[in-house]
Structure 1
Amino acid sequence: MSAPIRVPARTEVLVVGAGPGGSAAAAAAASAGREVTLLDSAVFPRDKTCGDGLTPRAIAELDLLGLGDAFSGPRIEGLDLQGWGGRQQVRWPQRSGHFPAYGSAVARTELDDRIRHHALEAGARMVSGVKAVGATIIGGKVTAVQVNTPDGPAQIEVDKVIVADGVRSALGTSLGRSWHRTTAYGVAARAYVESDRCNDTWMGSHLELRDGAGELLPGYGWVFPLGTESGLVNIGVGALATEKRPAHMALRPIIEHYTNSQRDDWQLHGKPLRIASALLPMGGAVSGVSGANWMLIGDAAACVNPLNGEGIDYALETARLASEVLGENDFSTLWPDLLRSRYALAFSAARRLAAVLTVPRVVPLLGRPGIRSTALMEMVVRVMGNLITEDDSDLIARAWHVAGLASARLDTRPPFT
């Protein structure tokens, strides 16, 4: 555990938030020779509400950081999809030149701290237990960031700021970030349970979620093995919602019921522990993601898959993109334009589909035939895993690109606007 250090009076690049995105951005910027301060309100290692899953896209970004083999989680071959009386195991797509053919699952206590140490090894300076709460803006630029420390308020003068402080994004909000809930957002809870299948090579993904009375819920469940070193699986439930159709789910009893329903299949022992929940803006459903010398990345910019809440891969990817444009003079339009060029079509299509899935009667209509179609489940895995790229030209990719173009034409508020 790193002891908190004195808050510096000034830094060239301030990265606020030491999750995967913030630490990866700090590592990249420090490796490029910049003076970097990485700041977080927590003292590490710390926990974070998350499914802990790493898609092949996330593994690819960790490989670029030089951390591809740095974690204890098992190699995951794909998703074990279940629901509506059907079950299919679908491997991650074998597509050379894009992503590796495996994923993993690593507890955030381990993942975040290892990437943070990587940033420190690259030369970044860490300030722990200090919260960024506001900014001084002069001539359209952030000149200083106000922080709360155990000894009272202070400020750090800055040249550039990368905001990676998560779904609530206190600093982003003070800079004008707004979350628009008319599009789909997520509500989720996770816990940890001992399991004899903790080293399994498949992620459990349950597309049909019911409560203790057997009533269908507008949600999904997951079980992700975390490896023999921990002896645990991450087990969780999530729901999709919109402003018009909010999710009214008592998450604790639902996750306890879901755990019991998976007890035999996943060989679980004991009660679910460390239950935690989170609200997730998704699909770029925020505006105010940048200014002249600051930009939001990862969860703070709602770079989260609207269909399942996956965001670690996007956090790592936007961190890399942010580090690549740090030398530019003005991020005001450059950054949202870059985010839209990379993600807008996929986010638009996914959040429109997610909104449809918040209608209870639609879920079984799509789920029953879908779970029995290998082709549809392969598409589900690629979409849920963020594994369709701009240059993919197969039938599934072309269909998804067309869906994105059609959806974008209907958007009254495109992603990141």
Structure 2
Amino acid sequence: MTDCLASSATPQGVPPSCATPLTPALEERYEVLVVGAGPAGAAAARLLAQAGRRVLMVDQHPLGRDKTCGDGLIPDAHQALQKLGLLEAVMARAEPVREVGCVGPRGGRVDVPGELAVLPRQVLDELLARHAVAAGARFEQARFEQALEDAQGRVCGAVLQRGDERLTLQADWVILATGAVPKALIAAGMCERHTPSGVALRGYVHAPAMVGRIQAMEVVWSREVRPGYGWIFPAPQGRFNIGVGVTDSHSAVAGKGRKKDVNLRALFDAFCQHYPPAAELMRHGQLEGELKGAPLRCTLQGARWTRPGLLVSGEAAGSTYSFTGEGIGKAMATGMAAAEAVLQGRDDADTRQRYEAVLQELKPRYDLYERANRINAAPWLADLLIWRAKRSPRLLKRMSGVLNETSNPGTLLSLKGLRRLFLE
């Protein structure tokens, strides 16, 4: 794999060959190049470094960059952090939460228990990445420009842009964990859908007076924010993460679909106007910085998962759940799966097969969450679920099972499931 050329998938032409020397600050070859230092990339880099692999993790942003997110750590995130050996370190910084408060359009509410916490992504991502570095991974701030290919078309490295330097780096494997923005996927020839599957807008409000008054991770459905939902999550140090999200925000057209008629700022304003705790939070608290929007890639769709020499993980692979918009836990899980495939694979084909098998095993669960996503377009379903859950301990237990991924979310909103609501 010494005869590497730039991937023809990019329009920038052929860069220097893999033999072009780098600056002394970087080696010319690594066993694994991880592109992206978010939860997926950091999880992959940590496992690989702990196994003794020579790993370079790159990101176009410095460690500790902000990321638009709800910041909620639900049970699958706790499980992933436990596997990484970082649960205690994260929980020492996070705000523990005991319940998700589901609020319907008519004001009905049910609190669903679970193992939960909230930690701003700026803190979480830096903590995960620095632990990857502590395990032996190398970090460089650089932007992925394009993949390198050998004479057989296998990815054998990447072209990176570091400041004014254009660097050519060889690697046995590349793990692409670049999030929802499709630029890197396009450059690597892995993008199947340019438009996102959802969008979200969030802000941080400092409101010490509201501490103790909003204790749950509140998720709110109403006609005012249809076809999406609003949320308020209590964060550490008297802050609250408040936002709105819309899944299925773009037309389901292969390649370049079109955005539907969705105005996130208007939905955010409507949420703050019509949901009393949100109105009080904005009235008595101080908005820190600006509201920030971001795309979502959901349902393990929109990108190829593998090609020879390259694996796609995290939200770049669509690791976010469409119903809840949660993606941190599954991003880490897919990053670890990519690392384990590299560590255990006998050859290229076996490595790819191992990784794709993990995602294929997850795919039915994503499909069920996509079915449950209908609640966002029909908020009266939230009213029905909440009404029955307040009267049925069995149904509340099933809802907690959905949160903990021990129950099927699709059956709650199937015809059979709706009939069962009146029998439980």
TM-score of Structure 1 vs Structure 2, range by shorter chain: 0.7 to 0.9
Q: Please point out which of 61, 70, 74 is paired with 2:95.
A: 74
The whole-number CA distance in structure 2 between the counterparts of 1:345 and 1:402 is 16
The aligned counterpart of 1:26 is 45
Give the Å deviation of 1:23: 0.8
Question: 2:81, 2:24 → 1: CA distance?
Answer: 27
Report the alpha carbon displacement of residue 201 of structure 1 after superposing the two structures with TM: 4.1
Instruction: Select which of 307, 324, 332 maps to 1:291.
Output: 307
* Residues in 1 aligned to 2:122 and 2:338: alpha-carbon distance in whole angstroms: 24
What is the aligned partner in structure 1 of residue 332 from structure 2?
Answer: 316
Q: CA deviation at 1:400?
A: 4.7
Question: Where do residues 11-410 of structure 1 align in structure 2 (5 Å cutoff)?
Answer: 11-71=30-90, 72-83=93-104, 84-92=106-114, 102-128=115-141, 130-138=142-150, 139-180=152-193, 185-196=197-208, 197-198=210-211, 201-208=215-222, 210=224, 217-228=226-237, 231-241=238-248, 242-243=250-251, 246-260=259-273, 261=275, 262-264=278-280, 268-271=284-287, 273-327=289-343, 328=345, 329-330=347-348, 331-341=351-361, 343-354=362-373, 356-357=374-375, 359=377, 362-364=378-380, 366-374=381-389, 375-376=394-395, 378-383=397-402, 385=403, 387-389=404-406, 396-397=407-408, 400=411
1:161-196 CA-to-partner distances (Å, cap 9, x unmatched) read 1111111243332222234489x9211111011123
Task: Provide, for residues 360-402 of structure 1, a one-character-per-residue CA deviation record: whole Å limited to 9, x for no partner.
Answer: xx332x232122121555544543x3x224xxxxxx4497599
Q: CA deviation at 1:320?
A: 1.6
Rounded to whole Å, the distance in 1 between the matches of 2:289 and 2:279 is 14
What residue in structure 2 maps to residue 98 of structure 1?
A: none
3-state DSSP of counterpart to 1:154: strand
Shift of 1:284: 0.8
Give TM-score scaled by structure 1 length: 0.81
Rounded to whole Å, the distance in 1 between the matches of 2:46 and 2:31 is: 14
Identity over aligned pairs, percent? 28
- CA contact 2:192–2:304 (8 Å) conserved in 1: no
Cα-Cα RMSD: 2.8
8 Å CA contact 2:372–2:413 kept in 1: the answer is no
Shift of 1:346: 1.1
Structure possessing the higher radius of gyration over alpha carbons: 2
Structure 2: distance between partners of 1:334 and 1:117? 28
Q: Which has the higher helix share?
A: 2
Once the two structures are TM-superposed, the CA of residue 108 in structure 1 deviates from its matched residue by 1.0
Task: Measure how far apart 1:307 and its partner are.
Answer: 0.4
SS where residue 323 of structure 2 aligns? coil
Number of residue pairs aligned between Structure 1 and Structure 2: 369
Structure 2 gaps of 5+ residues are 1-22, 253-257, 415-424
| Distance (whole Å) between structure 1 residues aligned to residue 189 and residue 229 of structure 2 | 33
Kept in 1: contact 2:112–2:396 (CA 8 A): yes
Deviates further, 272-281 or 309-318: 272-281
The alpha carbon displacement at 1:227 in A equals 1.6
Structure 1 unaligned regions, length at least 5? 93-101, 211-215, 390-395, 404-417
CA contact (8 A) 2:299 2:322 kept: yes
Kept in 1, the 8 Å contact 2:203–2:287? The answer is no
Q: TM-score scaled to structure 2, two decimals?
A: 0.80
State the match for 2:4 in structure 1. none
* Equivalent pair of 1:12/1:159 in contact (CA under 8 Å): yes
Please state how far the C-alpha of 1:351 moved relative to its aligned partner: 1.7
